Amino acid sequence: MKRILVLAALIFPLIVSAQVKLAEAVAEDFSTKAAEKFQQKNDPLLVFVADQMSRSGAGGLEIDKTMTELKKDPAALDAALKYVYQFSDCNRQQLIANLRAMNLQSNNVFPLATYTVNKFKGEAKALIEEKATLIKSGEFATVAPGTPPAAPAQPQPATSTAPTGQPVTPGTSAQETAPATATTPAATPAAPAAPAADPYDWDVRNIFPLTSPDQLAEKFGKENVAARPAQDLEGNDLGTGYYVFPDTDNEMEVVFKEDKSKIVTFTHEHSKWKSPFGIKPGDPLEKLVKINGRAFRINGFDWTNGGMIDSWDGGAMDKKGVTLQLKANNTGDPKQYDQVTGDKKVRSDQAALKKLDVVVEKVSFQTAPQQ
Protein backbone atom coordinates (compact mmCIF):
# COMPACT_ATOMS: atom_id res chain seq x y z
CA MET A 1 0.00 0.00 0.00
CA LYS A 2 2.82 2.40 0.89
CA ARG A 3 4.44 1.76 -2.48
CA ILE A 4 1.17 2.59 -4.25
CA LEU A 5 0.80 5.80 -2.27
CA VAL A 6 4.37 6.82 -3.08
CA LEU A 7 3.81 6.19 -6.78
CA ALA A 8 0.56 8.12 -6.67
CA ALA A 9 2.28 11.03 -4.95
CA LEU A 10 4.92 11.10 -7.67
CA ILE A 11 2.62 10.65 -10.64
CA PHE A 12 -0.28 12.89 -9.66
CA PRO A 13 1.66 16.20 -9.83
CA LEU A 14 2.96 15.19 -13.25
CA ILE A 15 -0.56 14.51 -14.47
CA VAL A 16 -1.78 17.84 -13.14
CA SER A 17 1.12 19.84 -14.55
CA ALA A 18 1.11 18.13 -17.91
CA GLN A 19 -2.02 19.90 -19.07
CA VAL A 20 -1.55 19.33 -22.77
CA LYS A 21 -4.98 20.22 -24.07
CA LEU A 22 -7.34 23.07 -23.32
CA ALA A 23 -10.96 22.34 -22.57
CA GLU A 24 -13.08 23.35 -25.54
CA ALA A 25 -15.03 25.91 -23.52
CA VAL A 26 -11.81 27.56 -22.30
CA ALA A 27 -10.34 27.71 -25.80
CA GLU A 28 -13.56 29.15 -27.21
CA ASP A 29 -13.74 31.81 -24.49
CA PHE A 30 -10.17 32.94 -25.19
CA SER A 31 -10.75 32.89 -28.94
CA THR A 32 -13.92 34.97 -28.66
CA LYS A 33 -12.43 37.57 -26.32
CA ALA A 34 -9.22 37.79 -28.36
CA ALA A 35 -11.27 38.45 -31.51
CA GLU A 36 -13.24 41.19 -29.78
CA LYS A 37 -10.12 42.93 -28.46
CA PHE A 38 -8.24 42.53 -31.73
CA GLN A 39 -11.02 44.14 -33.75
CA GLN A 40 -10.81 47.25 -31.59
CA LYS A 41 -7.35 47.82 -33.12
CA ASN A 42 -6.20 49.77 -30.07
CA ASP A 43 -5.60 47.11 -27.43
CA PRO A 44 -1.80 47.00 -26.86
CA LEU A 45 -1.81 43.31 -25.88
CA LEU A 46 -3.69 42.07 -28.94
CA VAL A 47 -1.84 44.42 -31.30
CA PHE A 48 1.42 42.95 -30.00
CA VAL A 49 0.14 39.38 -30.28
CA ALA A 50 -1.04 39.91 -33.87
CA ASP A 51 2.26 41.52 -34.83
CA GLN A 52 4.22 38.61 -33.37
CA MET A 53 1.90 36.12 -35.07
CA SER A 54 2.53 37.86 -38.37
CA ARG A 55 6.28 38.13 -37.81
CA SER A 56 6.65 34.46 -36.86
CA GLY A 57 4.32 33.14 -39.53
CA ALA A 58 1.99 31.53 -36.99
CA GLY A 59 -0.84 33.74 -38.17
CA GLY A 60 -0.49 32.94 -41.85
CA LEU A 61 -0.83 35.61 -44.51
CA GLU A 62 -4.35 36.72 -43.59
CA ILE A 63 -3.63 37.61 -39.98
CA ASP A 64 -6.92 39.48 -39.49
CA LYS A 65 -8.86 36.34 -40.36
CA THR A 66 -6.65 34.18 -38.14
CA MET A 67 -7.02 36.48 -35.14
CA THR A 68 -10.81 36.37 -35.35
CA GLU A 69 -10.96 32.59 -35.79
CA LEU A 70 -8.35 31.25 -33.38
CA LYS A 71 -10.58 28.41 -32.19
CA LYS A 72 -10.50 26.94 -35.71
CA ASP A 73 -6.70 26.61 -35.64
CA PRO A 74 -5.27 25.06 -32.45
CA ALA A 75 -1.69 25.84 -33.52
CA ALA A 76 -2.53 29.51 -34.03
CA LEU A 77 -4.36 29.63 -30.70
CA ASP A 78 -1.30 28.19 -28.96
CA ALA A 79 0.90 30.78 -30.67
CA ALA A 80 -1.41 33.58 -29.53
CA LEU A 81 -1.15 32.33 -25.95
CA LYS A 82 2.63 32.21 -26.25
CA TYR A 83 2.74 35.86 -27.23
CA VAL A 84 0.34 36.84 -24.45
CA TYR A 85 2.85 35.10 -22.15
CA GLN A 86 5.70 37.02 -23.82
CA PHE A 87 3.85 40.33 -23.46
CA SER A 88 3.45 39.42 -19.77
CA ASP A 89 7.25 39.05 -19.38
CA CYS A 90 6.70 35.31 -18.89
CA ASN A 91 5.40 36.08 -15.40
CA ARG A 92 2.45 34.00 -14.26
CA GLN A 93 0.85 36.73 -12.15
CA GLN A 94 1.14 39.29 -14.93
CA LEU A 95 -0.23 36.71 -17.36
CA ILE A 96 -3.26 36.19 -15.11
CA ALA A 97 -3.79 39.95 -14.91
CA ASN A 98 -3.65 40.28 -18.69
CA LEU A 99 -6.07 37.39 -19.20
CA ARG A 100 -8.48 38.98 -16.75
CA ALA A 101 -8.17 42.27 -18.64
CA MET A 102 -9.44 40.43 -21.72
CA ASN A 103 -12.71 39.87 -19.79
CA LEU A 104 -12.42 36.10 -19.83
CA GLN A 105 -14.82 34.17 -17.65
CA SER A 106 -13.25 34.02 -14.20
CA ASN A 107 -13.27 30.21 -14.06
CA ASN A 108 -11.28 30.05 -17.31
CA VAL A 109 -8.39 32.31 -16.30
CA PHE A 110 -6.41 29.91 -14.10
CA PRO A 111 -6.71 26.85 -16.39
CA LEU A 112 -5.58 29.01 -19.30
CA ALA A 113 -2.66 30.45 -17.33
CA THR A 114 -1.58 26.99 -16.15
CA TYR A 115 -1.75 25.58 -19.67
CA THR A 116 0.23 28.50 -21.10
CA VAL A 117 2.97 28.51 -18.47
CA ASN A 118 3.45 24.74 -18.63
CA LYS A 119 3.60 24.77 -22.41
CA PHE A 120 5.98 27.70 -22.88
CA LYS A 121 8.05 28.06 -19.72
CA GLY A 122 10.93 26.32 -21.49
CA GLU A 123 10.99 29.21 -23.98
CA ALA A 124 10.73 31.94 -21.34
CA LYS A 125 14.32 33.15 -21.55
CA ALA A 126 14.25 33.40 -25.35
CA LEU A 127 10.87 35.15 -25.29
CA ILE A 128 12.03 37.73 -22.75
CA GLU A 129 15.21 38.40 -24.73
CA GLU A 130 13.23 38.78 -27.96
CA LYS A 131 10.84 41.24 -26.34
CA ALA A 132 13.76 43.32 -25.07
CA THR A 133 15.23 43.36 -28.58
CA LEU A 134 11.91 44.49 -30.06
CA ILE A 135 11.66 47.32 -27.56
CA LYS A 136 15.24 48.43 -28.18
CA SER A 137 14.80 48.39 -31.96
CA GLY A 138 11.48 50.22 -31.86
CA GLU A 139 9.61 47.24 -33.33
CA PHE A 140 7.50 46.59 -30.24
CA ALA A 141 4.00 46.99 -31.69
CA THR A 142 1.31 48.63 -29.56
CA VAL A 143 -0.77 50.26 -32.28
CA ALA A 144 -2.44 48.39 -35.12
CA PRO A 145 -0.77 48.89 -38.54
CA GLY A 146 -2.42 51.68 -40.45
CA THR A 147 -4.03 53.09 -37.30
CA PRO A 148 -2.54 56.41 -36.20
CA PRO A 149 -1.87 56.51 -32.47
CA ALA A 150 -4.17 58.70 -30.45
CA ALA A 151 -2.68 62.02 -29.45
CA PRO A 152 -1.68 61.99 -25.78
CA ALA A 153 -3.99 63.97 -23.54
CA GLN A 154 -2.54 67.28 -22.47
CA PRO A 155 -3.10 68.63 -18.95
CA GLN A 156 -5.34 71.70 -18.94
CA PRO A 157 -5.10 74.66 -16.56
CA ALA A 158 -7.66 74.85 -13.78
CA THR A 159 -9.18 78.03 -15.22
CA SER A 160 -8.79 79.48 -18.66
CA THR A 161 -10.33 82.43 -20.44
CA ALA A 162 -8.49 81.84 -23.67
CA PRO A 163 -10.68 82.40 -26.71
CA THR A 164 -11.52 79.52 -29.01
CA GLY A 165 -8.48 78.64 -31.10
CA GLN A 166 -6.00 80.34 -28.75
CA PRO A 167 -3.37 77.73 -27.76
CA VAL A 168 -2.64 77.47 -24.08
CA THR A 169 0.63 76.01 -22.84
CA PRO A 170 -0.05 73.23 -20.31
CA GLY A 171 0.44 74.50 -16.76
CA THR A 172 -0.07 78.19 -17.59
CA SER A 173 -3.05 80.48 -17.72
CA ALA A 174 -4.41 82.13 -20.84
CA GLN A 175 -3.12 85.50 -19.63
CA GLU A 176 0.38 84.08 -19.37
CA THR A 177 0.27 82.92 -22.98
CA ALA A 178 -0.97 86.21 -24.41
CA PRO A 179 1.84 88.60 -25.51
CA ALA A 180 2.02 91.84 -23.50
CA THR A 181 3.04 93.97 -26.49
CA ALA A 182 3.92 93.41 -30.09
CA THR A 183 7.60 93.93 -29.27
CA THR A 184 7.82 91.49 -26.38
CA PRO A 185 10.37 88.82 -27.36
CA ALA A 186 9.39 85.20 -27.12
CA ALA A 187 10.49 83.52 -23.94
CA THR A 188 11.79 80.50 -25.83
CA PRO A 189 12.57 79.88 -29.50
CA ALA A 190 9.91 78.09 -31.48
CA ALA A 191 10.35 74.34 -31.65
CA PRO A 192 11.33 72.99 -35.08
CA ALA A 193 8.42 71.74 -37.13
CA ALA A 194 7.78 68.02 -36.77
CA PRO A 195 8.44 65.98 -39.91
CA ALA A 196 5.36 65.30 -41.98
CA ALA A 197 3.68 62.01 -41.15
CA ASP A 198 4.03 59.29 -43.75
CA PRO A 199 0.62 59.13 -45.47
CA TYR A 200 0.96 55.50 -46.53
CA ASP A 201 0.28 52.25 -44.71
CA TRP A 202 3.31 50.04 -45.38
CA ASP A 203 2.03 46.88 -43.70
CA VAL A 204 1.53 44.18 -46.33
CA ARG A 205 -1.03 42.29 -44.26
CA ASN A 206 -3.44 45.18 -44.92
CA ILE A 207 -3.18 44.47 -48.66
CA PHE A 208 -4.62 40.96 -48.42
CA PRO A 209 -8.20 42.02 -47.51
CA LEU A 210 -8.40 44.16 -50.67
CA THR A 211 -10.43 42.67 -53.49
CA SER A 212 -9.95 44.97 -56.48
CA PRO A 213 -7.48 47.28 -58.25
CA ASP A 214 -9.80 50.19 -57.44
CA GLN A 215 -9.19 49.62 -53.74
CA LEU A 216 -5.44 49.72 -54.36
CA ALA A 217 -5.80 53.02 -56.19
CA GLU A 218 -7.96 54.43 -53.42
CA LYS A 219 -5.44 53.37 -50.77
CA PHE A 220 -2.28 54.60 -52.49
CA GLY A 221 -3.51 57.06 -55.12
CA LYS A 222 -4.22 56.43 -58.81
CA GLU A 223 -0.97 58.11 -59.77
CA ASN A 224 0.96 55.47 -57.77
CA VAL A 225 -0.62 52.36 -59.34
CA ALA A 226 0.20 51.06 -62.83
CA ALA A 227 -1.33 48.09 -64.69
CA ARG A 228 1.25 45.89 -66.44
CA PRO A 229 1.65 42.25 -67.55
CA ALA A 230 2.74 40.06 -64.64
CA GLN A 231 4.53 36.74 -64.23
CA ASP A 232 5.07 34.47 -61.26
CA LEU A 233 8.57 33.65 -60.06
CA GLU A 234 8.71 30.64 -62.39
CA GLY A 235 8.02 32.85 -65.41
CA ASN A 236 4.39 31.84 -65.95
CA ASP A 237 2.02 34.55 -67.16
CA LEU A 238 -0.44 35.77 -64.53
CA GLY A 239 -2.33 38.27 -66.64
CA THR A 240 -2.53 41.85 -65.44
CA GLY A 241 -0.62 42.87 -62.36
CA TYR A 242 -1.04 46.14 -60.51
CA TYR A 243 2.23 47.76 -59.54
CA VAL A 244 2.17 50.09 -56.56
CA PHE A 245 4.95 52.71 -56.61
CA PRO A 246 6.30 51.22 -59.86
CA ASP A 247 10.00 51.45 -60.72
CA THR A 248 11.01 52.46 -57.20
CA ASP A 249 12.51 50.59 -54.25
CA ASN A 250 8.97 50.43 -52.85
CA GLU A 251 7.50 48.68 -55.89
CA MET A 252 4.90 46.05 -55.00
CA GLU A 253 3.13 43.85 -57.54
CA VAL A 254 -0.42 42.69 -56.77
CA VAL A 255 -2.34 40.16 -58.87
CA PHE A 256 -6.06 39.61 -58.23
CA LYS A 257 -6.93 36.08 -59.38
CA GLU A 258 -10.33 34.79 -60.50
CA ASP A 259 -10.59 32.50 -57.47
CA LYS A 260 -10.29 35.65 -55.31
CA SER A 261 -6.84 34.74 -54.10
CA LYS A 262 -4.09 37.34 -54.36
CA ILE A 263 -0.38 37.19 -55.17
CA VAL A 264 1.78 39.97 -53.74
CA THR A 265 5.37 40.09 -54.98
CA PHE A 266 8.47 42.09 -54.03
CA THR A 267 11.70 42.24 -56.03
CA HIS A 268 13.45 45.35 -54.68
CA GLU A 269 15.66 45.71 -51.64
CA HIS A 270 15.52 48.63 -49.20
CA SER A 271 11.74 49.10 -49.39
CA LYS A 272 9.58 50.45 -46.60
CA TRP A 273 7.18 47.53 -46.72
CA LYS A 274 6.62 45.46 -43.59
CA SER A 275 6.16 42.01 -45.09
CA PRO A 276 4.69 38.80 -43.63
CA PHE A 277 7.13 36.80 -41.51
CA GLY A 278 9.57 39.71 -41.93
CA ILE A 279 10.85 38.24 -45.22
CA LYS A 280 12.02 40.69 -47.86
CA PRO A 281 14.51 40.88 -50.75
CA GLY A 282 18.07 41.07 -49.49
CA ASP A 283 17.48 38.90 -46.42
CA PRO A 284 20.27 36.36 -45.81
CA LEU A 285 19.81 32.61 -46.02
CA GLU A 286 20.44 32.26 -42.28
CA LYS A 287 17.36 34.36 -41.51
CA LEU A 288 15.16 32.05 -43.58
CA VAL A 289 16.48 28.99 -41.77
CA LYS A 290 15.71 30.63 -38.43
CA ILE A 291 12.17 31.55 -39.50
CA ASN A 292 11.51 28.05 -40.86
CA GLY A 293 12.96 26.44 -37.76
CA ARG A 294 14.97 23.93 -39.78
CA ALA A 295 16.96 23.50 -42.99
CA PHE A 296 15.11 23.33 -46.31
CA ARG A 297 15.84 22.46 -49.94
CA ILE A 298 16.69 24.80 -52.82
CA ASN A 299 16.76 24.19 -56.56
CA GLY A 300 20.30 24.36 -57.92
CA PHE A 301 21.28 27.76 -59.34
CA ASP A 302 21.65 28.42 -63.08
CA TRP A 303 18.96 25.86 -63.93
CA THR A 304 15.19 25.69 -64.38
CA ASN A 305 13.65 27.56 -61.44
CA GLY A 306 17.17 27.98 -60.12
CA GLY A 307 17.45 29.33 -56.59
CA MET A 308 13.78 28.75 -55.76
CA ILE A 309 12.74 26.98 -52.58
CA ASP A 310 11.87 23.40 -53.55
CA SER A 311 10.59 22.30 -50.14
CA TRP A 312 10.42 23.72 -46.63
CA ASP A 313 10.76 20.14 -45.36
CA GLY A 314 7.89 20.46 -42.92
CA GLY A 315 9.19 23.61 -41.27
CA ALA A 316 7.23 26.61 -40.02
CA MET A 317 6.99 28.07 -43.53
CA ASP A 318 5.50 24.93 -45.07
CA LYS A 319 2.15 25.56 -46.78
CA LYS A 320 2.15 29.22 -45.78
CA GLY A 321 1.80 30.54 -49.34
CA VAL A 322 5.35 31.88 -49.55
CA THR A 323 7.43 31.46 -52.72
CA LEU A 324 11.06 32.55 -52.70
CA GLN A 325 13.85 32.85 -55.21
CA LEU A 326 17.38 33.17 -53.90
CA LYS A 327 20.57 34.43 -55.49
CA ALA A 328 24.26 34.03 -54.70
CA ASN A 329 26.20 37.29 -54.54
CA ASN A 330 29.66 35.68 -54.41
CA THR A 331 30.01 33.40 -57.44
CA GLY A 332 33.68 33.98 -58.15
CA ASP A 333 34.91 30.65 -56.73
CA PRO A 334 33.90 27.88 -59.19
CA LYS A 335 34.76 25.15 -56.68
CA GLN A 336 32.12 26.46 -54.31
CA TYR A 337 29.52 27.66 -56.81
CA ASP A 338 29.58 24.49 -58.92
CA GLN A 339 28.50 22.49 -55.87
CA VAL A 340 25.14 24.28 -55.82
CA THR A 341 24.38 24.73 -59.53
CA GLY A 342 22.62 22.54 -62.08
CA ASP A 343 19.80 20.03 -61.95
CA LYS A 344 19.96 19.17 -58.25
CA LYS A 345 18.40 19.92 -54.90
CA VAL A 346 20.61 21.70 -52.39
CA ARG A 347 20.08 21.71 -48.64
CA SER A 348 20.20 25.15 -47.09
CA ASP A 349 22.77 23.99 -44.54
CA GLN A 350 25.28 22.92 -47.20
CA ALA A 351 28.65 24.43 -46.37
CA ALA A 352 29.21 25.93 -49.83
CA LEU A 353 26.16 28.18 -49.50
CA LYS A 354 27.61 29.93 -46.47
CA LYS A 355 30.52 31.18 -48.57
CA LEU A 356 28.38 32.42 -51.45
CA ASP A 357 26.44 35.15 -49.62
CA VAL A 358 23.03 33.74 -50.58
CA VAL A 359 20.15 36.19 -50.13
CA VAL A 360 16.49 36.56 -51.09
CA GLU A 361 16.12 37.95 -54.61
CA LYS A 362 12.33 37.81 -54.97
CA VAL A 363 9.46 36.88 -52.67
CA SER A 364 5.76 36.25 -53.36
CA PHE A 365 2.93 35.78 -50.91
CA GLN A 366 -0.24 34.04 -52.14
CA THR A 367 -3.47 33.90 -50.16
CA ALA A 368 -5.80 30.92 -50.26
CA PRO A 369 -8.75 30.96 -52.70
CA GLN A 370 -12.00 32.16 -51.16
CA GLN A 371 -14.96 29.82 -51.12
Average confidence score pLDDT of the chain: 84
1 confidence band (pLDDT: 50, 70, 90): low
Burial of 197 from C-beta contacts in 10 A (0-12 / 13-18 / 19+): exposed
Is the Cβ–Cβ distance between 46 and 30 less than 8 Å?
A: no
Whether the predicted pLDDT of 169 surpasses 80: no
* 127, part of any domain: yes
Whether the predicted pLDDT of 245 surpasses 70: yes
* 284, part of any domain: yes
Whether the predicted pLDDT of 364 surpasses 70: yes
**92 and 18 within one domain:** yes
pLDDT tens-digit profile of 300-351? Answer: 999 999 999 999 999 989 989 999 999 999 998 899 999 999 999 999 999 9
* 66, part of any domain: yes
Residue type present at position 255: V
* 170, part of any domain: no
Q: Which domain holds residue 244?
A: 202-371
* 210, part of any domain: yes
Q: How many domains does the chain have?
A: 2
Whether the predicted pLDDT of 8 surpasses 60: no
Distance CA 33, CA 53 (A): 17
Q: What is the CATH number of the domain that holds 317?
A: 2.60.460
pLDDT of residue 188: 59
**221 and 84 within one domain:** no
**360 and 228 within one domain:** yes
Distance CA 95, CA 246 (A): 45
**214 and 288 within one domain:** yes
Out of 137, 158, 179, a domain closes at 137
Q: What is the pTM of this model?
A: 0.69
Mean pLDDT of 41-53: 92
How are beta strands 237-244 and 225-231 bridged, if at all? antiparallel
**207 and 350 within one domain:** yes
